[in-house]
Amino acid sequence: MLMRDGTAHRRLRGLANPLFAAGAIREMAPRIDRIVRRIMDDMGDGRDIDLIGSLAALVPVTIFCGLGGLPVEDRDLCRKWTDALGHVIDPATDEATLRAMNEAAEEFGAYIAEHLIQRRTDPQDDIISRLLLAEFDGEKLSDEEIVANIMMFFMGGHETTVNLIGNGMLGLLRHPDQLRALRDDPALIEAGVDELLRYDAPIQLVARITTDDVELEGHTIPAGSKVMILLGAANRDPLRYPNPDRLVLKRSNVRPLAFGGGPHYCIGALLAKTEARVVFTELMRRHRHIRLSRDEVVWRPQVNIRGLRELRVDLVP
């Protein structure tokens, strides 16, 4: 989906769009709520808890297994494959990483295909079953396309959502007045999630190839050039957002570019925002104090995906 254009892309989007539309996400909300609460029950409270390992990294993969129609007990396996596949959009990838990626694609593909065969005879209320039934302009998806879509949803939705939760929490911890405001009025997260996405975007850049010559600030970018578009920089444009380096949950007219734009605009944007809203609401409800337990935080060494390796906090009920 991500790598196709024109009619081929429209067909794939047309078939998958209804799965992530507002009505579908509203229907999924109670399941998302239940899954997040269970993960937080297991995490508990205490000192020096890694909020990435114990919470953020578990939420999207568990939710997607649940909604997708894959056994939740297999989430660690799905996460291992998803992590290996995630390097596909990394500009600097070595031979060993490429080999691991190929292996993961084969194993994950075979695993999803097995579940697809089961769903064909025994459809359930899940994304695999819905993709099997989906029709757009009289066309259906092939089994291979369904497998590729499910893998794409895991890849597109895992690390990005982990980082929305991680980067968002760090932003709040570094702006204690905003954290306090959210605790006093948890409804602030409704619109505030867009400010978290603006302030520290989980995907910092997207790539495109120009189809025509483009004039920009006195320079010509010739047709056929590869260009990198820095979403993170646009989100902090001082001409668009006054005092852009400050997190302000009540900031007005926030429309971050965190989910890209145009025909490839993130299909899972609503799902990701719903997951993050549930996580932040539940964190505020359960913990009277949340504070960094160490001054230093450790970032992952990637260029395009911005996220923390660890976020150590004290959680006080």
Positions in the binding site for ligand HEM (CB under 6 A): 1-2, 13, 20, 152-153, 156-157, 160-161, 164, 202-203, 206, 258-260, 264, 266-268, 271-272
Which amino acid is residue 84, in one-letter code?
A
- Contacts of residues 20-23 at CB distance under 8 Å and 24 or more positions apart, as own/partner, are 20/267, 20/268, 20/270, 20/271, 21/270, 22/270
Could you tell me the smallest distance in angstroms from the CB atom of residue 89 to ligand HEM?
8
**Backbone dihedral region for residue 222 (phi beyond 0: left; psi -120 to 50: alpha; all else: beta):** beta
Residue closer to ligand HEM by CB (options 1, 112) is 1
Could you tell me the smallest distance in angstroms from the CB atom of residue 17 to ligand HEM?
9
Residue closer to ligand HEM by CB (options 110, 228) is 228
Could you tell me the smallest distance in angstroms from the CB atom of residue 149 to ligand HEM?
8
Residue closer to ligand HEM by CB (options 228, 316) is 228
Residue closer to ligand HEM by CB (options 71, 265) is 265
Could you tell me the smallest distance in angstroms from the CB atom of residue 64 to ligand HEM?
7
Contacts of 283 (CB under 8 A, 6+ apart): 40, 169, 290
Could you tell me the smallest distance in angstroms from the CB atom of residue 184 to ligand HEM?
25
Task: Give dist(CA 185, CA 279) in Å, integer.
Answer: 15
Instruction: Find out whether 292 and 187 touch, Cβ atoms under 8 Å.
Output: no
Task: Give dist(CA 247, CA 42) in Å, integer.
Answer: 30
Q: Are strands 289-292 and 298-299 parallel, antiparallel or unpaired?
A: unpaired
Could you tell me the smallest distance in angstroms from the CB atom of residue 165 to ligand HEM?
9
Residue closer to ligand HEM by CB (options 5, 103) is 5
Task: Give dist(CA 127, CA 142) in Å, integer.
Answer: 15
Residue closer to ligand HEM by CB (options 20, 111) is 20
* Helix-, strand-, coil-residue percentages of the chain, each rounded to 5: 60, 10, 30
Measured from the Cβ of residue 177, the count of other Cβ atoms closer than 10 Å reads: 11
Task: Give dist(CA 227, CA 209) in Å, integer.
Answer: 6
Could you tell me the smallest distance in angstroms from the CB atom of residue 228 to ligand HEM?
11
- The residue nearest ligand HEM at its CB is 268
Residue closer to ligand HEM by CB (options 36, 206) is 206
Task: Give dist(CA 275, CA 164) in Å, integer.
Answer: 10
